[in-house]
Chains A and B, each alone.
Chain A
Amino acid sequence: MDDILLLDAVERYMKNEMTAQERVFFEELRKNNPAIDQLAVEHLFFLQQLENTAQRKKYQHALHEVENKLVNEGVISKKNLRGRAKVVHLWNRYRRTISVAASIAGIVSILTATVFSIYNENKKEKLITPLVDYKFRQVDAKLKQFETQLNEAAVVSKVPTPVKPKFEANFRATGFLIDVSGFIVTNAHVINNAKNLIVENKKGEQFFANPVYVNKITDLAILKINDTSFKKFLALPYSIRKSSAELGEQIFTLGYPRDEVVYGEGYLSAKSGYSGDTSAYQISISVNPGNSGGPVINRNGEVIGIISSKETNADGVVFAIKSKNIYNALEEIKKTDTIRLPLSGSVKGLERVQQIKKIEDCVFMVKGN
């Protein structure tokens, strides 16, 4: 008997789709033919496993929805008084180690920064390319200008909307929200020397932003949207991972190497970055100038890194800053700004297409001049 026919028979048998006659025949067949009976038993068991998987996925989805809802309502608190006492306790226990580690790190980084700065600069320029797009302006910006002129002409006649002052950007990269109220992470090299910064969402809405944190050593920068037209998000769909990611994890990114948001996927290929840099990962993914600052997200919807550069002479060798650095940055700026990182991602367990739909709203084009 054909395998496929048999499987179909088992499934119809299980779903009660057989006619009485068929049913009798099938039961007879099983009785007289142990091999067929075994296959049927095995297949029934397997279908049960599949059904369990389906139910569990559905249930997990419900759990996440509820959790997000309660976090937003404040029922599940992000901070807890008793908890804080415990955190302080842990802090006391490890403070010595941490401060020693911090001071060593300080010394090393100062040394690297002064003694090797020239050397590093040269090396970096030669072998790795930051992924900022400086060329886009020539073609795309012209097109865009025409487009906006056309749009404006169309709009003006109807509703007088507040028009942003003309803004001529000369570079473009990517950034993503880490706080519902408009804090965006990108690379320090992106905003290097920029006088004005604008972030733009996928609908083309632009918001003025200014840096609140820049760290050239980790190459991390945080921008704050300072624009009344920006509406707060209710929740972010992803979370930021604090611990290290695993080798071989499937990852994807969204970014603006073009005027339109672009998706790319790959995997984590090493737990350190360029020449053993432990604050970064090496990932294998296809990226282009403009992808700098884009989030690197795993299948559970956790941001594990920020795309920063790629090796000049090799294809697909890309470096991403570890997400842990975001947490470190927050420590430094918490005196001036309070940033609340998203705690749990609502896209966990969703199909990739659905994940992207939710995430793309939180990925911005970062432009400046």
Chain B
Amino acid sequence: MSINNHEQLLLEGLAKNEQKAVETIYRDNYGIIQSFILKNNGYPEDARDVFQEAMIVLYEKASSGTFELTCQIKTYLYSVCRRLWLKRLQQSQRYTATIENIGETITVDDDMTAHEKKDADFLLMESALVKIGEPCKRLLESYYLEKKSMPEIAKSFGYTNADNAKTQKYKCLIRLKKLFFAQYKNGG
């Protein structure tokens, strides 16, 4: 039980974006994933990519609020990495019929589907932000992503007052929304 408690705490930390939790999970699991990838036609740099993506999947799951620990973090990460790596091997046609497994796995299909959707949304928002251009991008990022206050933003962008900055922010936001939803609806 104490192990499970420890892991539950780690996941809660992860959901809150605590660097310490990220670091602990990294330290405990990276080695296994790297040796799996290296055993299966990969390089250390592939291992780093795959592990990072798996950490994002874990984060999404931990922060979804409905996460229940049905297996150890180690098993979960390995299952996700295995899926990700098989997919990459197939895409790059390096696929070999035999995959050397190094542990037990659980089904992560639903999580992977959810992750792909979230990833697509994230990329869509990123590209919409690039498309609206400056200074809109900086303005929206300062407020919505970096959580700066309106007076602070007005000052650094040289607006005469916070209300002006606010109006400008909403104008930018309307443009961003248009761009985002145009793609979002197309993409389904």
| A residues neighboring B (CB under 8 Å) | 3-4, 7-8, 42-43, 46-47, 49-60, 62-63, 65-67, 69-70, 75-80, 82-83, 86-87, 90, 242, 343-344
Assuming the contacts A53-B126, A55-B17, A56-B56, asked whether A343 and B170 have C-beta atoms less than 8 A apart, the reply is no
Assuming the contacts A7-B174, A54-B145, A62-B19, asked whether A343 and B45 have C-beta atoms less than 8 A apart, the reply is yes
| B residues neighboring A (CB under 8 Å) | 17, 19, 22-23, 26-27, 30, 34-35, 38-39, 41-45, 48, 52, 55-56, 59, 63, 118, 121-122, 125-126, 140, 144-147, 166-167, 170-171, 173-174, 177, 180-181
Extra pairs beyond A49-B125, A66-B26, A78-B44 (20, CB < 8 Å)? A3-B170, A8-B166, A47-B144, A52-B122, A53-B125, A55-B63, A62-B22, A63-B22, A63-B56, A66-B19, A70-B30, A76-B34, A76-B48, A80-B34, A80-B35, A80-B38, A83-B44, A86-B39, A86-B41, A87-B43
Whether B55 and A52, one on each chain, are in contact in the complex, defined by CB atoms closer than 8 angstroms, is: no
A3 to B170, CA, bound (A): 9
Chain A positions within 8 Å of B23 at CB level: 66, 69-70
Closest to B49 in A: A344
Q: Tell me, rounded to whole Å, the shortest Cβ–Cβ distance linking B13 to chain A.
A: 11
Pull 17 A–B residue pairs with CB atoms less than 8 Å apart, ordered by A: A3-B174, A4-B170, A42-B181, A47-B144, A49-B180, A50-B125, A50-B145, A52-B125, A54-B146, A62-B17, A66-B22, A69-B23, A70-B23, A70-B26, A80-B34, A90-B41, A343-B48
Chain B positions within 8 Å of A46 at CB level: 177, 180-181
- Which of A52, A75, A76, A344 has its CB near the most chain B CB atoms (within 10 A)? A76
SS class, residues of chain B in contact with chain A: helix
Q: Tell me, rounded to whole Å, the shortest Cβ–Cβ distance linking A72 to chain B.
A: 13
A177 to B19, CA, bound (A): 29
Whether A51 and B144, one on each chain, are in contact in the complex, defined by CB atoms closer than 8 angstroms, is: yes
Chain B positions within 8 Å of A80 at CB level: 34-35, 38, 44
Assuming the contacts A46-B180, A53-B145, A57-B145, asked whether A7 and B125 have C-beta atoms less than 8 A apart, the reply is no
Q: Tell me, rounded to whole Å, the shortest Cβ–Cβ distance linking B88 to chain A.
A: 13
A66 to B22, CA, bound (A): 7
A79 to B140, CA, bound (A): 42
Whether B30 and A75, one on each chain, are in contact in the complex, defined by CB atoms closer than 8 angstroms, is: yes
Selected contact of B38 from candidates A51, A60, A86, CB within 8 Å? A86
Assuming the contacts A53-B145, A58-B17, asked whether A63 and B171 have C-beta atoms less than 8 A apart, the reply is no
Q: Kindly list the 9 A-B residue pairs having the minimum CB-CB distance in the complex, ordered from nearest.
A: A83-B38, A54-B145, A4-B170, A53-B125, A50-B144, A66-B23, A62-B19, A66-B22, A62-B22
Chain A positions within 8 Å of B38 at CB level: 80, 82-83, 86
Whether B43 and A76, one on each chain, are in contact in the complex, defined by CB atoms closer than 8 angstroms, is: no
Assuming the contacts A55-B63, A63-B55, asked whether A79 and B44 have C-beta atoms less than 8 A apart, the reply is yes
Closest to B145 in A: A54
Chain A positions within 8 Å of B166 at CB level: 8
A69 to B174, CA, bound (A): 40
Chain A positions within 8 Å of B144 at CB level: 47, 50-51, 54
Chain B positions within 8 Å of A55 at CB level: 17, 63
Whether B118 and A52, one on each chain, are in contact in the complex, defined by CB atoms closer than 8 angstroms, is: yes
Chain A positions within 8 Å of B42 at CB level: 86
Whether B177 and A344, one on each chain, are in contact in the complex, defined by CB atoms closer than 8 angstroms, is: no
Whether B39 and A67, one on each chain, are in contact in the complex, defined by CB atoms closer than 8 angstroms, is: no
Whether A7 and B170, one on each chain, are in contact in the complex, defined by CB atoms closer than 8 angstroms, is: yes
Whether B121 and A52, one on each chain, are in contact in the complex, defined by CB atoms closer than 8 angstroms, is: yes
Chain A positions within 8 Å of B27 at CB level: 70, 75
